[in-house]
Structure 1
Amino acid sequence: MTTRVPPLGDSRGLWLVVLAAAAGRCQCRGTCGKNHDKDGGRCKTVHGGYGRRHGTGPVRLLAAPAEPTDLLLPPHKAAALPKTALIAWCPECHDATRRAAAKAQQASAPAAEPDSLF
């Protein structure tokens, strides 16, 4: 694992706390659409390791909300979440989980009523 250099703007050290709690490994347990069964039910991607695709370079884990629906929060609300509500995500699992949450939110939204002319 490479040295843990926090991202810019991490004045409270949340990223370091989340990454330490995760032992430097993505904490996705299948919300991304993959079952991760081969890896004990948890994503095998580690901070500083290499991505699944050739040539992607070292992976940098993200500290983001644990709940998929919270991934859709505006940035200012997501930043206000306590550290207990955050987990480490690899970019691939984070993006896939966020897309799945957005799709589920769209599917559960009530259909818009057509505007009537009279």
Structure 2
Amino acid sequence: MNGRTPPLGDSTGLWQAVIAAAAGRCQCRGTCGKTHAKDGDRCPAVHGGYVRHGTGPVSLLAAASDPAALLLPEHRAAALPKRELAAWCPACHDATRRTAAKANRGTAPPSDSLF
């Protein structure tokens, strides 16, 4: 796998555009709970690189840049424009999503159902 191999189904080039805008690096600036202080306040994970010894290569995700928007249903998240997306490493994405879900507990999620 090279450093810019897109995921299957990226026929629009959206993933590639988001990753290129991020210079191939995770754009988390601490919403995951880590300060990333040693790395200029930004996650050091690079697409295709290794975070630490013994782990596989990092595959960056293109997902909502706003942590609250990470909780959107998949069909609404897929409709977000490029300007509202960021590159995330899986660890930062999952941790930020968990934090947003905890903060959102007790509030009624927006309903997408008809009934």
Structure 1 and Structure 2 fold alike (TM over 0.5): yes
Structure 2 residue 86 is matched with structure 1 residue 87: yes
Which runs of 4 or more aligned residues in structure 1 lie more than 6 Å from their structure 2 counterparts after TM superposition?
A: none
Q: Displacement of 1:49 after TM fit? A: 0.6
| Contact preservation (8 Å) 2:27, 2:87 | yes
In structure 2, give the amino acid aligned to 1:50.
Y
Give the greater-gyration-radius structure (CA): 1
For normalisation by structure 1, the TM-score amounts to 0.86
Q: CA deviation at 1:26?
A: 0.3
Match of 1:101 in 2: 100
Count of matched residue pairs: 108
Aligned to 1:44: 44
Task: Check if 1:57 corresponds to 2:56.
Answer: yes
RMSD: 1.5
With over 3 angstroms needed to count, the CA separation of the structure-2 counterparts of 1:3 and 1:38, relative to structure 1, is closer
Give % identity.
Answer: 71
Secondary structure (helix, strand or coil) at the match of 1:35 reads coil
Find the counterpart in structure 1 of residue 3 from structure 2: 3
Q: CA deviation at 1:4?
A: 1.2
Q: Which runs of 5+ in 1 are unaligned?
A: 111-118
Q: Please list every run of 5 or more consecutive structure 2 residues that lacks an aligned counterpart in the other structure.
A: 109-115
